[in-house]
């Protein structure tokens, strides 16, 4: 982390997630083992779908590698079930360095997000107070170009929390997403609760 002279940066962070979320550490030395464990869990007792199993493994490894290249630290995937269905949602935790000598205040970052909002996405930007301090919250609902009405699998709802890391010019970025627009408000409430659980450790 890029240090400033005012405050010592935290050693790490902690998040509380509900039961049913699977954690994948994105470090290259750890992620393949985590992906394999998730795949084996999802296909436990299923021996007649080897191609689907390998497709899931390849897809997860690709997603994990891409997230790591973008500064990702860990990826959480929802395995929560509602009846016979798994609720699709994810949380990507990333470290976003800023090329500045001084930390960028959250209010200034919020203004920048509001000015640069994608017209193709319904965007809400706000400044929120978490236990760890002031953070920027960005909620987006994105549809594929040319589609007037949402169809299953064609809408993405995301909630981002940009949290300043004390003693640095960096932000910890929590990116939540789900394709389930009909329950987007309920999922956003869950995402807010997870973000509110963030704490720094020494």
Q: Averaged over 58-77, what is the pLDDT? A: 95
pLDDT attached to residue 149 = 47
Q: What is the pTM of this model?
A: 0.86
Residue found under tokens 């997000």: 113
Tell me the pLDDT tens digit for each residue of 124-165.
999 999 999 999 999 999 876 554 444 444 688 999 999 999
CB 178 within 8 A of CB 190: no
pLDDT attached to residue 15 = 97
Q: Averaged over 65-85, what is the pLDDT? A: 90
Which residue has better confidence, 198 or 148?
Answer: 198
Alpha carbon 1 to its chain centroid, in Å, reads 20
Which residue has better confidence, 181 or 100?
Answer: 181
pLDDT attached to residue 150 = 40
Least-confidence region, from 96-100, 112-116, 130-134? 96-100
Q: Apex CA 166: angle with CA 164 and CA 172, to 5°? A: 35
| For residue 34, pLDDT beyond 80 | yes
Q: Averaged over 45-59, what is the pLDDT? A: 87
CA atoms within 13 A on the CB side of 124: 8
3-class SS string, 148-188:
CCCCCCCEEEEEEEEEECCCECCEEEEEEEECCHHHHHHHH
pLDDT attached to residue 158 = 94
Q: Averaged over 30-59, what is the pLDDT? A: 89
Q: Averaged over 79-85, what is the pLDDT? A: 81
């Amino acid at each position: 982390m890029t240090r400033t002279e005012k405050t010592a940066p935290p050693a790490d962070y902690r998040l509380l997630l509900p039961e049913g979320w699977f954690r994948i550490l994105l470090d290259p030395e750890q992620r393949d083992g985590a992906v394999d464990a998730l795949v084996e869990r999802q296909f436990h007792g299923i021996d007649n779908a080897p191609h689907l199993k390998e497709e899931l493994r390849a897809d997860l490894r690709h997603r994990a590698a891409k997230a790591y290249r973008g500064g990702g630290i860990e990826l959480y995937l929802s395995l929560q079930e509602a009846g016979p269905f798994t609720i699709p949602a994810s949380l990507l935790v990333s470290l976003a360095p800023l090329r500045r000598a001084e930390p960028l205040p959250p209010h200034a970052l919020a203004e920048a997000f509001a000015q640069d909002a994608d017209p193709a996405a319904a965007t809400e930007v706000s400044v929120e107070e978490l236990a760890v301090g002031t953070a920027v919250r960005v909620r987006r609902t994105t549809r594929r170009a040319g589609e007037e009405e949402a169809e299953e699998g064609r809408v993405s709802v995301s909630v981002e929390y940009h949290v300043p890391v004390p003693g640095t010019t960096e932000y910890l970025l929590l990116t939540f997403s789900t394709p389930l627009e009909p329950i987007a408000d309920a999922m956003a409430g869950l995402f807010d609760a997870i973000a509110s659980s963030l704490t720094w450790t020494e």
